[in-house]
Structures are given as C-alpha cells and as structure tokens.
Amino acid sequence: MSAPMSSFIRVTVPSALLSSAVLSACASAQTASTTPEAPRIEQARVEQIISTLADDDMRGRSAFSADAVRAAEYLAGEFAAAGLESPEGADGYLQWFSVPTPTRGAANVGGNGGASASEQGLVNVVGMIPGRRSDEYVLFSAHYDHIGIREPVAGDSIANGANDNASGTTAVVMLGRYFAERGTPERTLLFAAFTAEERGGFGSRYYSTQLDPDQIVAMFNIEMIGKPAVQGPNTAWITGFEQSSFGLILQEAVTGTEYEFYPDPYPDQRLFYRSDNATLARSGVPAHSISTTPIDVDQDYHQVTDHVETLDLEHLTNTIRAIAMGAETIVSGAATPTRVDLPDGN
C-alpha cells in the first residue's frame, strides 16, 4: 500500500458510498450449498516464502535498487516451481522496463538494473496458466517492492515490509501453485508481482500497457493480509466494493464456508485509488484490492518494525484459501463481474 500524500488530488467522490442496500441485496442473493473443502494451501510454504521476502538480506526491496531485483529473481524461481508459464515477452518470468529517473529518493539505494543514468530499470515478475478461453484473463497480483532503508529505530534500519507487501506477494505465489495443480482452467490466469507500487505504481502501469484491459475479466490485487481485520477472524475486505459486482461474487462463492468478505471499512482513506488495482480500474476492469489489515491503527505500517513476527501466519494462510475459494466462479467462467465505470477525475 502506498502512502496517501500523492493520492489526495482531486478528491470528488463522496466518502461513504457503501450502503446497507448493497449488503442486504447480497445476503438475499446467497443460496445454501454444500460446504466446499478448504483449498490446499500449505502454511509451512507460506511461512517460507514470506520469511525469505521479508528477510534482512532483501534490505526492504526498494524499487530502483539491486535489492528489488534480487527479490524479483527469487520470485521468478518461485513462479517456475509453482508450475506457471512465462508469458510471451518476459525474460524467464522477468518483465523489464524502464522509466525516467525519479526526482527524489533514488540516489541512495544502489543499483539501477543496468539502465542508463536518465532511465532506470525496473522489473515485474509475471506468469500465467493458459485457460481454455485464451482471450479472457483473470489477474492475481501484488506489489513486491517496499520502502527499503530508513532512519534507524533501536538499531534497525531495514523496513522489511512483511505485511506490506510480502504477505500479498506470497499469496500470489501460493495461488499460482494452487491453480496450476488443478489443471487447465476455463479462463486464462495471470499472475503478477509488481515493482514500484511504493514509488508511483510504475509496475502495474507498465503491466497494464501490455494487455488489452477489455480482456481482463477481474483483477484480484492483494495488499497487506498478514494481520486480522476488524471484522474478525477469517474475514477480508475489498476496496471499491460498490464499484462492481466483484465483491458480491466473492461473497457468494464463500457462502457456507468459514470465510467472509466485506466492503473496505476505511472508505475515507481512498484505498481503492492507492494501490496497483487503480490503473486497470480506471480502464474499466473490475480491479479491486483485497486486504485485512486494520490500517487506521496499524503501528507497523511503513515502519522498520513491519516484521514477520508481527503477523498471524495462520490468518494469512486462511486468507489465501479464502481468495482461492472466492475466485472459483470467476476462474471457471460461471460468474463475470460488472465493469467499473469511474467518474472523470478519479
């Protein structure tokens, strides 16, 4: 999740769009069904991946640094091990691109991925599972970059970004593994670990230019799912809930299970516009972020204390299971969310 400063431009949307009407409509749409089995997502593997990404060795995975490249290379190995295919144009799951040198903050973080002084190299990690429908995509994504090295606090200067967003990145790897094991899906599944979310969303913006937004049926962007939500255990919330029927479809897909999805409880924070889903949402894609963190009171957000030890790994694993289950009908082609239609200026 990126800091809000740059996002509070041209705020014109009413803050409380969520209505009880939406919730009751949803409740009546839910029908009883046999309880689906929880998807097989191994907590030990979740712990291994998040611990690697948030290790001090990764030095906070700051975009525009060699540390982020090291994280990307690790993730490329995980995508391969998960059984994902490398999409056309990617270099072994690595999607390189460059942007003009940013005006602040880049000089102190080391390597630049081999680009020239005026252009800096960045890299996304991308994978796919081809489906029977080659022109309908379901995208699972998370940003893997974080904010790097900060002023030391109690001798610790590494902002490890365990929750933000090694947790979401771990989910993308585990969902890739889960869906790859299930064989050919109906819709084509895309997996992306984006760079530079914390520095202006460059990764998701570049990625979006490589696809036709009209072919993207849904985007599951996963942000900060390592701490339980205010709504209680086994719950997650969805940003921009009222902007499409995506959330209602997920709610229906987990009906009768121990998991629940809710609308984002912090509409004033405009989180829908503050993460990597925003670019594709502006192009009409039902592109939403799924999170669980009580972001209004979280003491570790963008601090050097964002360590794995502060997270609830059972909750994290359960949330990945919930997302796998919630995605079921969209992956199978049984459900298609309505498109997003944002007012100009958002």
If we measure between CA atoms, which residue out of 139, 125, 170, 189 comes closest to residue 321? Answer: 170
Should residue 1 be labelled a site residue for Zn ion when binding is judged by CB under 5 A? yes
Between 7 and 210, name the residue whose CB sits nearer to Zn ion.
7
- Identify which of residues 1 and 278 has a Cβ nearer to Zn ion in the complex: 1
What is each CA distance from 300 to 63, 136, 294, 311, in whole angstroms? 20, 38, 11, 10
Cα–chain center distance at 317: 15
**Shortest Cβ 190–Zn ion spacing (Å):** 23
Among 67, 78, 145, 164, binds Zn ion (CB under 5 A): 164
Q: How far is the CB of 10 from Zn ion (least distance, A)?
A: 22
Q: Residue 325 Cβ, how far from Zn ion at the closest point, in Å?
A: 26
In the region spanning residues 109 to 148, those forming contacts with Zn ion, defined by CB under 5 A, are: none
* Least CB distance to Zn ion at residue 299 (A): 14
Number of residues that bind Zn ion (CB under 5 A): 2
- Candidates 7-15, 161-169, 269-277, 305-313; binding stretch for Zn ion (CB under 5 A): 161-169
Candidates 63-71, 98-106, 158-166, 199-207: pick the segment binding Zn ion (CB under 5 A). 158-166
Residue placing its CB nearer to Zn ion in the complex, 147 or 253: 147
Nearest to 234 by CA among 346, 144, 325: 325
**Nearest Cα to Cα of residue 148 among 53, 55, 63:** 63
Q: Which of residues 174-193 bind Zn ion (CB under 5 A)?
A: none
Nearest to 124 by CA among 82, 99, 96: 96
Residues 6 or more apart whose Cβ sits within 8 Å of residue 1: 164, 165, 197, 223, 224, 271, 274, 275, 291, 295, 301
Q: Which is nearer to Zn ion, 142 or 217 (CB)?
A: 142
Whether the bond between 165 and the residue before it is cis, its omega within 30 degrees of 0, is: yes
Choose the stretch contacting Zn ion; rule: CB under 5 A; options: 1-9, 235-243, 251-259, 285-293: 1-9
CB of 21 to Zn ion, least distance (A): 33
> Whose structure tokens read 């975009």?
63
- Binding footprint of Zn ion on the chain (CB under 5 A): 1, 164
